[in-house]
Amino acid sequence: MKVALFIPCYIDALYPKVGIATLELLERLGVEVDYPLNQTCCGQPLGNEGDQKNAAAAERLFVDNFKGYDYIVGPAGSCVKHVRHHLDAIEQTTDVQSVRKNTYELVEFLHDILKLRDFSNVTFSHRVAVHNSCSSIRGLQLASCSEVMGPRWNKTEALLERVKGLELVHIDRPDECCGFGGTFAVTDEAVSAKMGLDKVRDYERHGIEYVVSPDMSCLMHQEGVSKMQQMPIQFVHIAQVLNQGPF
Amino acid sequence: MSTTKVKVAENAAKFIQQDDIHEKLHDQNLWNVRMRRDTVASAIPEWEELRTLASRIKEHTLTHLDEYVLQFADNAEKRGIKVHWASTAEDHNRIVYEILASHQVKRLVKSKSMLQEECHMAPYLEKRGITLTETDLGERIQQLSGQDPSHIVMPAIHQTKEDIAKLFAEKIGTDPNKVDANYLTEAMRNNARPKFLEAEATMTGANFAIAETGSFVVCTNEGNADLGAAIAPLHIASIGIEKMVPKVEDMGVFIRLLSRSAVGTAATQYTSHFSGPRKGTEMHIILTDHGRSHRLGLEDFWSSLKCIRCGACMNTCPVYRRSGGLSYGATYSGPIGIILDPSYDEDKYSELPFHSSLCGSCTEVCPVRIDIAEQIVKWRKVMSAKKKLPVGLRLAFGVTGTVFKYPWVFRTAEAAGKWALKFAPDALIYNKTLNAWGRQRKLPEFADQTFRDWYLKNRNKEPKA
Ligand code: SF4
pLDDT per residue as tens, chain B (465 positions): 457 999 999 999 999 999 999 999 999 999 999 999 999 999 999 999 999 999 999 999 999 999 999 999 999 999 999 999 999 999 999 999 999 999 999 999 999 999 999 999 999 999 999 999 999 999 999 999 999 999 999 999 999 999 999 999 999 999 999 999 999 999 999 999 999 999 999 999 999 999 999 999 999 999 999 999 999 999 999 999 999 999 999 999 999 999 999 999 999 999 999 999 999 999 999 999 999 999 999 999 999 999 999 999 999 999 999 999 999 999 999 999 999 999 999 999 999 999 999 999 999 999 999 999 999 999 998 998 886 666 555 544 444 454 455 555 555 555 545 544 444 434 334 345 556 777 888 877 777 889 999 999 998 665 544
Q: For residue B363, give every residue at least 6 positions away whose Cβ sits within 8 Å of its Cβ, in sequence order, or none.
A: A138, B369, B370, B371, B372, B373, B374
> Pairing state of beta strands A3-5 and A71-74?
parallel
Helix, coil or strand: residue B208: strand
Residue of A nearest to B353 (CA): A49
Beta strand spans in chain A (E): 3-5, 33-34, 71-74, 103-105, 127-130, 167-168, 210-213, 234-237
Residue B321 in any domain: the answer is: no
Burial of B182 (0-12, 13-18, 19+ CB in 10 A): exposed
Residue that is last in its domain, among B272, B290, B308: B290
DSSP-H helix ranges across B237-371: 251-262, 292-296, 312-316, 318-323, 334-340, 361-365
Q: Which of A137-151, A180-194, B230-244, B343-357 has the lowest mean pLDDT?
A: A180-194
Contacts of B356 in chain A (CB under 8 A): 181, 184
Domain boundary pick from B253, B268, B290:
B290
Tell which B residues from 5 to 24 touch A, by Cβ distance under 8 Å.
9, 12-13, 16-17, 23
Q: For residue B232, what pLDDT is reported? A: 95
Tell whether ligand 1 has an atom less than 6 A from the beta carbon of residue B308: yes
* H/E element, A97: helix A94-102
CB distance B351 to B390 below 8 Å = yes
Q: Out of B41, B356, B363, whose CB is closest to A184?
A: B356
Q: A241 in the Ramachandran plot: left (φ > 0), alpha (ψ -120 to 50) or beta?
A: alpha
CA-to-CA distance for B137 and B269, rounded, in angstroms? 15
Chains A, B: CB pairs < 8 Å = 221
CB spacing of A50 vs B377 below 8 angstroms: yes
- 8 Å CB contact of B16 and A194: yes
Which residue's CA lies nearest to atom 3 of ligand 1? B366
Is there an atom of ligand 1 within 6 Å of B309 CB? yes
A78: pLDDT confidence band, cut at 50, 70 and 90?
A: confident
* Residue of chain A whose Cα is closest to the Cα of B313: A147
Helix axis angle for B8-17 and A189-205, nearest 10°, is 40
Ligand 1 centroid, distance to B309 Cα (angstroms): 5
Contact B12 A61 (CB under 8 A): no
Residues in chain A with CB shorter than 8 Å from the CB of B447 are 13-17
By Cβ distance, the residue of B379, B436, B447 closest to A14 is B447
Is A138 an interface residue toward B (CB < 8 Å)?
yes
Task: Give the domain CATH number at B138.
Answer: 3.40.50.10420
B75 min Cα distance to partner chain A (Å): 38
Degrees, nearest 5: CA angle B224-B226-B232: 95
- The angle formed by the CA atoms of residues B318, B151 and B183, to the nearest 5 degrees, is 110
CB of A30 within 8 Å of any CB in chain B? no
**Mean pLDDT rounded to a whole number for chain A:** 92
Which B residues 214-253 touch A at CB under 8 Å?
none
Tally of CA atoms within 13 A in the half-sphere of A106 that contains its CB? 32
- Using the Cβ of A89 and the Cβ atoms of chain B, whether some distance falls under 8 Å is answered with no
Question: Which residues of chain B lie closer than 8 angstroms to A194, CB-CB?
Answer: 16, 23, 322
What is the value of ipTM here, to two decimals?
0.92
d(CA A243, CA A25): 5
B376: in domain: no
CB B307 near ligand 1, within 6 Å: yes
Residue B261 lies in a domain: yes
B322 touches A: beta carbon within 8 Å: yes
Q: Look at residue B7 in the predicted model and tell me its pLDDT.
A: 95
Ligand 1 in reach of B109 Cβ (< 6 A): no
Better-scored residue on pLDDT, A53 or A213 = A213
CA distance B419 to chain A (A): 12
Q: State how many domains chain B has.
A: 2
Tell me: do B402 and B284 sit in the same domain: no
Mutation to test the A interface, candidates B451, B453, B457, most A Cβ within 10 Å: B451
Classify A188 as helix, strand or coil.
coil
Taking the Cβ of residue B279 and every Cβ of chain A, the question of whether any pair is shorter than 8 Å is answered with no
Asked if residue B120 is part of any domain, the answer here is yes
3-class state of residue B334 by DSSP: helix
Asked, for residue B22, whether it belongs to a domain, the answer is no
Q: Determine contact, residues B351/B8, Cβ cutoff 8 Å.
A: yes
Task: Determine the Cα–Cα distance for residues A87 and A104; give it in Å rounded to an integer.
Answer: 14
Q: Are residues B127 and B255 in the same domain?
A: yes
> Residue A56: what pLDDT?
85
B 411-450 near A (Cβ less than 8 A): 414, 417-418, 433, 436-437, 439-447, 449-450
User: Does residue A193 belong to the interface with chain B, where contact is any CB pair within 8 Å?
Assistant: yes
Task: Please name the residue of chain B whose CA is at the shortest distance from the CA of residue A13.
Answer: B450
Per-residue pLDDT at B175: 95
**Nearest residue by C-alpha to atom 4 in ligand 1:** B313
Mutation to probe ligand 1, out of B208, B301, B306, B308 (largest number of atoms < 8 A from CB): B308
Q: Which of B112, B80, B81, B86 minimizes the C-alpha distance to B98?
A: B86
Question: Residue B370, exposed/middle/buried by CB under 10 A (0-12, 13-18, 19+)?
Answer: buried
Q: How far is the CA of B290 from the centre of ligand 1 (A)?
A: 19
Q: Which of B253, B274, B290 finishes a domain?
A: B290
Residue A148 pLDDT > 90: yes
**CA A101/CA B251 separation, integer angstroms:** 41
Task: Give the C-alpha separation, B46 to B37, whole Å.
Answer: 15
Q: Which residues of chain B does A45 touch, with a Cβ-Cβ cutoff of 8 Å?
A: 397, 400
More confident residue, B391 or A83: A83
Count of positions (residues) in chain B: 465
Binning pLDDT at 50, 70 and 90, where does residue A82 land? confident
In our burial notation (b when 16+ CB lie closer than 10 A, e otherwise), range B382-420 reads bbbeeebbbeebeebbeebbebbbebeebbebbeebbee
**Residue B31 counted as domain residue:** no
| Boundaries of domain holding B110 | 44-290
For the Cβ of B310 lying below 6 angstroms from any atom of ligand 1, the answer is yes
Nearest C-alpha neighbor of B149 from the set B337, B304, B303, B23 = B337
Contact B311 CB / ligand 1 (< 6 Å): yes
DSSP B183-201: HHHHHHHHHHHHHHHH-SE
pLDDT of residue B385: 83
Q: Which amino acid is at A196?
A: G
CA of B460 relative to ligand 1 center, distance in Å: 55
Residue B195 belongs to a domain: yes
B262 C-alpha to center of ligand 1: Å? 9
Residues of chain B with C-beta less than 8 angstroms from the C-beta of A37: 452, 455-456, 461, 463-464
pLDDT per residue over A22-33, tens digit each? Answer: 999 999 999 999
Select the residue of A15, A50, A224 nearest B443 (Cβ to Cβ). A224
In a domain, B320, yes or no: no
CB of B263 shorter than 6 A to ligand 1:
no
- Domain annotation for chain A: domains and CATH numbers: 3-113 (no CATH), 127-243 (3.40.50)
Report the pLDDT value the prediction gives residue A48, as an integer from 0 to 100.
58
| Contacts of residue B349, Cβ cutoff 8 Å, sequence gap at least 6 | B6, B329, B330, B341, B342
Contact status of B354 with chain A (Cβ, < 8 Å): yes
Q: How far apart are the C-alpha atoms of B148 and B325, rounded to whole Å?
A: 9
